[in-house]
Structure 1
Amino acid sequence: MKPLCEKVLPDENSSWRFCRYDWQEMEFNWHYHPEYEICLTLGGQGLRYMGDHIGQYHEWDLVLIGPDMPHAWQSKLSDTPQTVYVAQIPAAWLHQQLTEQPELAVLGSLLERAGRGLLFSDASARAALPLFQSMEQASPYRRLLLLLQLLELMLADSEACALSSTLYANSGKQEYAVKKLDRVIEYIYDNYTNDLNAQELARLAHMSTNHFHRFFKKRTEKTLTEFINQLRIAKACKLLITQQSPISAISDQCGFNNLSNFNRRFLQLKGIQPSQFRQRFRGKPAAI
């Protein structure tokens, strides 16, 4: 499924957006936006999707999502509402602050790592809650100070870990080379379950095949084969969770040419066999 672009509008008299939601269930909404997003999800459990990551979230879930990173959460209907706090910060504005305010330059490493999505420790999630709660009734000035405290908290978390194995964020959207990569990646997203070859994609980028391989690896930190396999395995995970189809059928649906290749790639990327993955998630909150 191709993610939808979400339009984010800053709060009145603010450069960024803060909001709180209370949901009985969280429906799958695969989307992205050019803003950084800090999301604290409380009091529930379900599945978290970020780039090519699919994993469970539990009662305390604090993440930082980089610009243009596709993401979604999903949970089943519950009698107890889940509370979700969200801060969405325009990337251009935040980058400008780091450039113009030398005191903020220390945040650069955190924002760079956010390109793969960052999950923070339970301790950080618990410490973030009073900051978010204070934002609810705060003035725009006070809310900005609280946002800086929140970023400082996340920067200090040595247990923060990347979720997606692929860097999805693209800085400098007007750069010509980035536009080429966007065009190629969009084509891959639309066709990754079909046969794809480097020659075809190189023509799309107006490059020689050898140049394209080097360009793609430099820009995504993955070879073309690795990138496509990660998308296929992410789709397989979703189908294993939501369908009862035989694993061989799911292998075909995801574009693998034979079952043994599928099993080998799945084990390589997820660390377990497809059958074990399905068993682990059986009876858990379902995806789409």
Structure 2
Amino acid sequence: MKAMCGKSIPSDSCSWRFAKVDLSSIEFNWHYHPEYEICLTLNSGGSKHIGDHVSQYERADLVILGPYLPHSWFCKPTKGNHELTVYVAQIPSQWLNELVQKNPELSILDSFLQRTKRGIEFGRAATLKSINLFKAMCQADPLERYLLLIELLNLMVKDKSAKQLSTSTFDNKTPQNTAIAKLDKVINYIYEHYTEQLTAEKLASLVHMSTNHLHRFFKQRTEYTINQFINQLRIGKACKLLIDSDTQISAISDQCGFNNISNFNRRFRMIKGATPKEYRNMLKAPAII
């Protein structure tokens, strides 16, 4: 699955974008963008993929994502054709970062925004309180919506039940255009071919680098080695297949690009802390509210 670079358009007369979307399902769409994103998902249950994090979600689910952090949700059509609702706030990173730096009242957000590089999931109480804020945004004028956004950020930064998701970070500084293009080219190729046998030599040739240069370039910007990145994607795909299908584990190993079942089990346990069989047995069908 290729990670698409998303583009966001600010809402009318606003510095940031707000949207409410009603859906029957959520298709897997692995992507990233330069904005911070706050996402509240209601009446839905499925899997969420944030950086190298994969987990089941259910009921109301609230997260914030830092710039350039790859992510996707996946939810099959709900029983009884109940519509699920997604509220999204996409906030330009430069605008929000400057707002925090120029206003001492917002200094509490400084370290919080650094933590969003790995994605943050919020506790039940904060998530339920956020629902009314998002609903109010739907009817608010631009100034009221801005104040509601600040109230939402204040709610999230004070949530002691919040937890970080991805075990690693992605570079959320704005790189030079040539570096972005090279990194995107390598990452997009990996996303399209990660279930195949990949070599550093092949990836380096795509961007006219030596293999040693590519290894340093890639690690500096993603905090992964190339092999770690590929294995995280393969395990992420394996988690999705374990969650959403009854496919035999040996077949999942093959589909995800592992050369043997022992290597698959070892890598899976290293990343997820359980064997594929143990992971599948821990999963329960999501409840819909």
Q: TM-score range by the shorter chain?
A: 0.7 to 0.9
Which residue in 2 is equivalent to 1:139? 141
Tell me the amino acid that sits aligned with residue 260 of structure 1: S
2:280 maps to which of 278, 281, 285? 278
* CA shift digits 1:28-74 (9 cap, x unpaired): 44443332211122333222222332211122311002223232241
Give distance in 2, aligned partners of 1:191 and 1:240. Answer: 20
Which residue in 2 is equivalent to 1:32? 32
Which residue in 2 is equivalent to 1:182? 184
- The question of whether the paired residues in 2 share the 8 Å contact of 1:46 and 1:76 is answered with no
Give distance in 2, aligned partners of 1:264 and 1:61. Answer: 31
- The question of whether the paired residues in 2 share the 8 Å contact of 1:251 and 1:258 is answered with yes
Q: CA deviation at 1:261?
A: 0.6
Q: Is residue 21 from structure 1 mapped to residue 21 from structure 2 by the alignment?
A: yes
- The question of whether the paired residues in 2 share the 8 Å contact of 1:195 and 1:255 is answered with yes
- The question of whether the paired residues in 2 share the 8 Å contact of 1:25 and 1:78 is answered with no
Which residue in 2 is equivalent to 1:71? 72
Equivalent residue of 1:154, what SS? helix
Name the TM-score, length of structure 2 as normaliser.
0.86
Equivalent residue of 1:152, what SS? helix
Equivalent residue of 1:200, what SS? helix
**Measured at CA, do residues 90 and 49 of structure 1 come closer, stay the same or move farther in structure 2, by a change above 3 Å?**
same
Deviates more, 1:55-64 or 1:177-186: 177-186
Which residue in 2 is equivalent to 1:261? 263
Q: Is residue 150 from structure 1 mapped to residue 152 from structure 2 by the alignment?
A: yes
Give distance in 2, aligned partners of 1:32 and 1:109. Answer: 22
Give distance in 1, aligned partners of 2:27 and 2:180. Answer: 32
Deviates more, 1:243-252 or 1:170-179: 170-179
Equivalent residue of 1:21, what SS? strand
Structure 2, unaligned stretches of length 5 or more?
none
Tell me the amino acid that sits aligned with residue 32 of structure 2: Y
Deviates more, 1:138-147 or 1:85-94: 85-94
Q: CA deviation at 1:163?
A: 1.9
Q: Is residue 62 from structure 1 mapped to residue 62 from structure 2 by the alignment?
A: yes
- The question of whether the paired residues in 2 share the 8 Å contact of 1:173 and 1:179 is answered with no
Equivalent residue of 1:136, what SS? helix
Tell me the amino acid that sits aligned with residue 195 of structure 1: Q
Which residue in 2 is equivalent to 1:51? 51
Which residue in 1 is equivalent to 2:106? 104
- Counting only pairs closer than 5 Å after superposition, residues 87-236 of structure 1 correspond to structure 2 as 87-236=89-238
Give distance in 2, aligned partners of 1:44 and 1:55. Answer: 14
Q: Give aligned-pair identity as a percent.
A: 51
Cα RMSD, aligned residues only: 2.5
Structure 1, unaligned stretches of length 5 or more?
none
Tell me the amino acid that sits aligned with residue 269 of structure 1: I
